[in-house]
Amino acid sequence: MAEAQKPPAAAGGRANTKKALPDHFKDYKHVWVFIEQERGEVHPVSWELLGAGRALATKLGVDLAAVVLGSPGEGVRRAAAEASCYGADLVYLVESDLLANYRNEPYTRAMTDLVNTYKPEILLLGATTLGRDLAGAVATTLLTGLTADCTALDVDTDGSLAATRPTFGGSLLCTIYTLNYRPQMATVRPRVMPMPERIERPLTRLIEHPLNMVEDDVVTKVLSFLPDRQSEKSSLAYADVVVAGGLGLGSQENFQLVRQLASVLGAEFGCSRPVVQKGWMAADRQIGQTGKTIRPRLYIAAGISGAVQHRVGVEGADLIVAINTDKNAPIFDFAHVGIVTDAVRLLPALTEAFRQRLSASTRDRIAS
Ligand SMILES: Cc1cc2nc3c(=O)[nH]c(=O)nc-3n(C[C@H](O)[C@H](O)[C@H](O)COP(=O)(O)OP(=O)(O)OC[C@H]3O[C@@H](n4cnc5c(N)ncnc54)[C@H](O)[C@@H]3O)c2cc1C
């Protein structure tokens, strides 16, 4: 559904186009976060969103609620209890056999029923494959606005959600407001928001809600799962050490050098977008605005120029080491350590040096 957009004011917040919010908006309160879990395993983006949701809820002076949907059993109960440890004040839970495996129709029904009953002001979901599918369906069913792939979330003085995301190929950021509809919905990609601290806390408020649907209402049937389904959530986004290569490496063969260094460091490997477009690496290895966002302790970028679309995916790294032949490459504007040299020559030397110096236990320490 199309968003109402306002030009952002120079110093954040909206330009002078304000009007009073409709009266019925007062019925909508609280910040909700969808807890994405499959077969009892929660996607960590859910906890990251609880961290972001907590900041919004505190500013608004409202509750932060988690929404857990799934088949009856220990898995969803554990997810609900964990949500409390990551900051949720209360949890809405819909348990049904129809929610055993993700299917759009029952999940959309469960979520829209909850929203229509309890009326949240803000609803956040992870921009994962599942979250994107669900968010779009929920927004169109509720006839409300959805801002996808946000990089920052804030609330305006009137309580409106200010959802910021890249636009024009990532060269600009725009702040989008959902002025005329509620709830205000946004998705955020994994690793864009920092992981909040987990604090042991009992879950004291659990609101259970029925799913008013039967299997015959659901067109989609799950027949089987491919065994490598989990690999999509590969560790790249959550890796502590990442080595990546760009077009500067010159050929597909040279990406062996990236993999070898990654292997010695016990790291994940990745690449820039043109490398995927050339077919030198698989798409799930792409880092950046249209690939994965990473937050490793160490990021080594070899032959990558540091275009803004790449930068947004890596700037959460604690230490960025860039290797580039061009001393004026943009990556040196945000790298912590810059090495001006030929990466094709340096990478094997680095690999050998690390191989000699790093014992297995040291590698484990880097990763921990
Ligand atoms: C809508 C949109 C979305 C995008 N999303 C992404 C995204 O998610 N991720 C992404 O990465 N890009 C993305 N891009 C593309 C982005 O704009 C850049 O084109 C891309 O990041 C450049 O890739 P690169 O740095 O590998 O290649 P180049 O820009 O060609 O840079 C190669 C670099 O290697 C250096 N070099 C050359 N030879 C050597 C050598 N022997 N040793 C060391 N250095 C060397 C060069 O000096 C240069 O700086 C997107 C673009 C658009 C429009």
3-state SS record for 117-136:
HHCCCEEEEECCHHHHHHHH
- Regarding the beta carbon of 294 and ligand 1, being less than 6 Å apart is answered no
pLDDT digits 0-9 by tens, 33-80: 999 999 889 999 999 999 999 999 999 999 999 999 999 988 999 999
Residue pair 107/34 in contact by the 8 Å Cβ criterion: no
Q: Torsion over CA of 112, 116, 117 and 121, rounded to 10 degrees?
A: 100
Q: What residue spans in the chain does CATH classification 3.40.50.1220 cover?
A: 234-367
- Regarding the beta carbon of 291 and ligand 1, being less than 6 Å apart is answered yes
- Regarding the beta carbon of 342 and ligand 1, being less than 6 Å apart is answered yes
Identify the residue whose tokens are 């599942």: 130
Output 231 or 141, whichever has higher pLDDT: 141
Output 167 or 232, whichever has higher pLDDT: 167
DSSP string, 188-233: E-TTSSPPPPP-------EEE------GGG---------GGGGGGG
DSSP 246: -
**Ligand 1, atom 31, residue with closest C-alpha:** 305
Superfamily holding 234-367: TPP-binding domain (3.40.50.1220)
Collapsing DSSP states into helix, strand and coil, what is residue 340?
strand
Best residue among 310, 333, 334, 346 to mutate for probing ligand 1, ranked by most atoms within 8 Å of CB: 310
The atom number, within ligand 1, closest to the CA of 304 reads 25
Q: What's residue 24's pLDDT?
A: 79
| Cis, peptide link before residue 210, omega less than 30° from 0 | no
307 CA → ligand 1 middle, Å? 6
- Residue 277: other Cβ atoms inside 10 A: 12
Task: Give the fold, CATH level 3, of 23-229.
Answer: Rossmann fold (3.40.50)
Q: What's residue 365's pLDDT?
A: 63
- Regarding the beta carbon of 248 and ligand 1, being less than 6 Å apart is answered yes
Residue pair 178/145 in contact by the 8 Å Cβ criterion: yes
Q: What's residue 358's pLDDT?
A: 81
- Regarding the beta carbon of 254 and ligand 1, being less than 6 Å apart is answered no
pLDDT confidence of 231, banded at 50, 70, 90? very low
**Ligand 1, atom 9, residue with closest C-alpha:** 288
Q: What's residue 167's pLDDT?
A: 86
Q: What residue spans in the chain does CATH classification 3.40.50.620 cover?
A: 23-229
Report how far residue 116's alpha carbon sits from residue 101's, in angstroms, rounded to the nearest whole number: 23
The atom number, within ligand 1, closest to the CA of 289 reads 8
Beta bridge partners of 37: 42
Report how far residue 188's alpha carbon sits from residue 191's, in angstroms, rounded to the nearest whole number: 9
Report how far residue 37's alpha carbon sits from residue 44's, in angstroms, rounded to the nearest whole number: 9
Report how far residue 272's alpha carbon sits from residue 103's, in angstroms, rounded to the nearest whole number: 32
